[in-house]
Structure 1
């Protein structure tokens, strides 16, 4: 029992722990459970969550701590916790499967990250075995090795990696992944700030050569929503994840055009829930409520939050 004049202990990141934190987590879990009950869903599949080596994750958090000047909005990390607590939280939300999206920003990192991710998947059975890539010598070999070792999803980050998806070194890799039917979550939209190789045009060229590539466009292609929806309409294997889209935070930066809402309904079997947990500046349930307030119905929500991903990752 707390004695007068004492405060709750904090973890190394400065977040509250103990009784207050436990009560907050229970409240959050109850909020998500109420959402699932409202739409008749036993569990959730989240295709856009991040787990990575601790020192890499700390650098990612440092980037978001400094991203305010870039976006004009502060970006406080809502779940700046140690790994086990983050895993516990996701499971308490009813998330049945999730990813460990990770990505290199320079040559020589991807194979090492893939080794870490394979170990993480082995000790975390509800995590979809995730891998990554970079345009460098040897990329085809280590991507093939990852697929043979059971990788079920890849992450490509064109903005952070500052590479062209059409780099000749990657062409055989896209062919390999298309042939194997392994999806690729790709950050290719120009949010929160454009990169040299972001945007729909280079992705369109990639898909013209590899139309069977199971591409999952992260963040719904923010802010080029309409153009990436058009690519999904043109290529049946293209999907989009909802990461941060429609939230109050993103609507302040890159509002989704109301005129495009009907296309979300039409592509309802190819929209997948993504959240960016733990690197989000608001509670997890806010992403779910943001989808709910689109008014596209419970059937659409059940497909987005579970059914579509369950079909893609049986």
Structure 2
């Protein structure tokens, strides 16, 4: 039986309750999904802790200009009194990008998050270059929703070509494509093979319930991918904005019966490497 001393969830949305509810309303309108999970930090963390999570990436994103500073400050403040939250920051492409990002990094943000189709900016958007340059300077990683899942096929701000250009332009920045790069997962997996600074997270699309919501079969990603790319794939859940149980996020991953070393990478060490930490930090 596989056991884990420590588990990181590398994809959790910690946002003000009103904003989180608004995001859910939009997803319900667009996709018809319903969300049974809490929107309050204490309750979110209680669920995660019950599931054995030791730390999680707290990922915000700003869907319009002028809100990133306050949102980053809110996430950083909520993370100060949390033993679990690793605070990330965000910025809108039409903000004073360098100022917003530098303030967040100086205040303790551990990385950046971009929800590319919602924020209408992608990994090659020149408006974000100041953010990328600061990420390189401060050695902070970036999480991009750069794939086309679940409802963004044809969106001009996502796609494997843009992510590939980013990796080539900023080889010093560790960059993760959320949701295993679905629906272009095969091309994203190839990028991770080719670039040491490229990562993926498993959120949503590796769930045992995924077939109820989008046309994707987790079995199309073989065990060999997790074994070959061990150290570059992180477990993530997209909690609390998932329409299924938290248990479903890990169920199929655990059923794969991967080697213990691979599970240790998946559930802890890959996230540690992504953060730029050494083991034990």
Say yes or no: TM over 0.5: yes
Counterpart residue number, 1:62: 25
**Cα distance, 1:256–1:126 mapped onto 2, change above 3 Å:** closer
- Which among 253, 256, 263 is matched to residue 301 of structure 1? 263
Higher Cα Rg: structure 1 or 2?
A: 1
Matched, 1:284 2:242: no
Distance 2:157 2:23 in 1: 20
Q: Distance in 2 between matches of 1:203 and 1:253?
A: 23
Deviation at 1:263, TM superposition (A): 2.6
The CA deviation at 1:85 is 1.6
Structure 1 residue 261, shift from structure 2 partner: 4.4
Verify the 8 A CA contact 2:56 2:84 in the aligned structure 1.
Answer: yes
2:57 is matched with which residue: 91, 96, 99? 99
List, as ranges, runs of 4+ consecutive aligned residues in structure 1 with deviation greater than 4 Å. Answer: none
Aligned length: 272
Distance 1:257 1:231 in 2: 20
1:242 aligned partner: 202
| Deviations 1:154-189, CA, capped at 9 Å, x for gaps | 111101111132222211321221232211111000
Q: Which residue of 1 aligns with 2:236?
A: 274
1:206 maps to 2:157 = no
Of 45, 50, 60, which residue of structure 1 is paired with 2:13? 50
CA distance in 2, matches of 1:57, 1:296: 35
SS at match of 2:144: strand
State the SS of the aligned residue for 2:5.
Answer: coil
Question: Residue 257 of structure 1: CA displacement?
Answer: 6.3
- 8 Å contact 2:208–2:251 — kept in the other structure? no
* Aligned: 1:121 with 2:79: yes
In structure 2, the gaps of 5 or more residues are 276-280
In structure 2, distance between residues paired with 1:196 and 1:56:
25
Structure 1, residues 96-150: CA drift from partner, whole Å, max 9, x if none? 1112211111111211211111111112232102211221241111111211111
Shift of 1:46: 0.5
**Which residue of structure 2 lines up, in the alignment, with residue 71 of structure 1?**
none
Distance 1:156 1:202 in 2: 13
Structure 1 residues without counterparts, runs of 5 or longer? 1-37, 69-73
Which of residues 168, 172, 179 in structure 1 aligns to 2:137? 179
Could you tell me the TM-score, scaled by structure 1's length?
Answer: 0.81
Secondary structure of 2:66's partner? coil
